[in-house]
Amino acid sequence: MKLLVFSVREDERPAIKAWEERNGIEVTQVTVPLTLENIEQVNGYDGICIQQRIDIIEERIYEKLKEFGIKQISLRTAGYDIIDLEFAKKYQLKVTNVPAYSPTSVAELVVMQALRLIRNNPIVEDNMSRGDFRWGGMIAKEINTLTVGIIGAGKIGGTAARLFKALGAHVIGYDPVQIEDLKDTLTYMNSQKEVLEKADIVSLHVPLDGKTKHLIDAEALKLMKPDAYLINAARGPVIDVEAMIQALEKKAIAGAALDTLPNEQYFFNHDLSGKELPGKNLEKLMHMNNVLITPHIGFYTTVAVQNMVDSALGSARDIIQTGKSENEVSK
């Protein structure tokens, strides 16, 4: 069996090599994403594995894959919105994702940012960068005195809840699907509204879909306490960023930590040093000393990268060998 892996990053190479040796399956690594222009290179392989931002929208790509005898498209990511599932079905291509590569990876980032916010760390660092080492007025709160509100208590939200609980926080949450095992960790509220009203730290872990776009809008922000913090490590459009900036400017909330932002494909993981930042909102947020921004690095740990590679290549192998994979997302 021969697999072709697209968009390989340097940090993935050792994980891919290790999988190849463990499984005795030949794996070719290329750094380019899969496009119509370079699809001919798939000819001669048994399967493909991808991870890319460029949508695969051209029907011809799916048709070509079928022509080459390919039976699957394996994604090394949780999201699979870059794939046209109808075309995949039409050309009998089974699509797989990596549903959970390391919830702890994202949850640990969230806990770190929550602690930094409540210690006034961004303000302290901002002052110190200007040579101001005073701490008067920056008395911090301890996490064990606070209520953390998790909106979307699935794999990542549930893991974050457990970490916060272990630090002594009171954890509440809202999720239409309640998990029995989590009930010792977090107290489920009946609505998102209750979480927003009660929490000192609100952390968002919902998927982005038609219903969760701008889940946190001006009205939702009004429900939060003025000394509460907002954390988003889900997807940028879950927050109405304009409304959040207004709330931060009016001091209607105390601060925010954002690992995801709308239109992040234009700046996250790009070197824009010395260049103008795209968009006024990003510019504003970058200059707020009560806002922490990370460039969508929640997923980026050694454990998560190894798991992504193992799971994605394993799914490709399973579909080729047995026609089935537990990670199939195609209709």
Binding string, residues 85-114; x marks residues near ligand NAD by CB under 6 A:
---------------x--x--x--------
From the list 80, 74, 72, 30, the residue with the least C-alpha distance to 53 is: 80
Dihedral of alpha carbons 290, 234, 296, 183, sign: positive
Residue of 264, 276, 317, 328 with catalytic role:
264
Judge whether 138 and 163 are in contact, CB under 8 Å. Answer: no
- Among 76, 162, 198, 296, interactor with ligand NAD by CB under 6 A: 296
Q: Does 233 bind ligand NAD (CB under 6 A)?
A: yes
Name the H helices within the chain.
Answer: 13-23, 59-67, 85-90, 103-118, 121-129, 155-166, 192-198, 218-223, 241-249, 280-286, 302-322
Verify whether residue 67 is a known catalytic residue.
no
Q: Two tokens at 227? A: 């000394």
Angle at which helices 13-23 and 302-322 cross, to 10°: 40
Residue of 296, 317, 326, 328 with catalytic role:
296
Q: Which is nearer to ligand NAD, 124 or 206 (CB)?
A: 206
Helix (H, G, I), strand (E, B) or coil at 207: coil
Query: Which burial class, exposed, middle or buried, applies to 276 when counting CB atoms under 10 A from its CB (0-12, 13-18, 19+)?
Result: exposed
How far, in Å, CA of 287 to CA of 296, rounded? Answer: 18
**Phi then psi for 77, rounded to 5 degrees?**
-135, 165
Stretch that binds ligand NAD, among 7-15, 140-148, 200-208, 216-224 (CB under 6 A): 200-208
- Among 299, 311, 316, 318, interactor with ligand NAD by CB under 6 A: 299
How far, in Å, CA of 307 to CA of 296, rounded? Answer: 18
Verify whether residue 170 is a known catalytic residue.
no
Q: Does 155 bind ligand NAD (CB under 6 A)?
A: yes
Longest CA span, the chain: 69
Q: Does 260 bind ligand NAD (CB under 6 A)?
A: yes
Least gap, CB of 126 to ligand NAD (angstroms): 24
Q: Which is nearer to ligand NAD, 244 or 320 (CB)?
A: 244
Binding-residue total with ligand NAD (CB under 6 A): 31
Verify whether residue 264 is a known catalytic residue.
yes
Binding to ligand NAD (CB under 6 A): which residues in 50-79? 78
**Angle subtended at Cα 161 by Cα 157 and Cα 164, rounded to the nearest 5 degrees:** 135
Q: Does 162 bind ligand NAD (CB under 6 A)?
A: no
Count of positions (residues) in the chain: 331
| Enclosing H/E stretch for 275 | none
Q: Does 211 bind ligand NAD (CB under 6 A)?
A: yes
Task: Give counts: helices (H), strands (E), the chain.
Answer: 11, 12
Q: Does 206 bind ligand NAD (CB under 6 A)?
A: yes
Least gap, CB of 227 to ligand NAD (angstroms): 23
- Among 6, 174, 267, 268, interactor with ligand NAD by CB under 6 A: 174
Binding string, residues 175-194; x marks residues near ligand NAD by CB under 6 A:
xxx--------------x--
Least gap, CB of 100 to ligand NAD (angstroms): 6
Least gap, CB of 236 to ligand NAD (angstroms): 9
Q: Two tokens at 42? A: 């798939």
Stretch that binds ligand NAD, among 22-30, 35-43, 168-176, 239-247 (CB under 6 A): 168-176
Neighbours of 120 (CB within 10 A): 21
Least gap, CB of 309 to ligand NAD (angstroms): 15
Q: Does 198 bind ligand NAD (CB under 6 A)?
A: no
Give the interface with ligand NAD as residue ranges (CB under 6 A).
78, 100, 103, 106, 151-157, 174-177, 192, 205-208, 211-212, 215, 233-235, 259-260, 296, 298-299
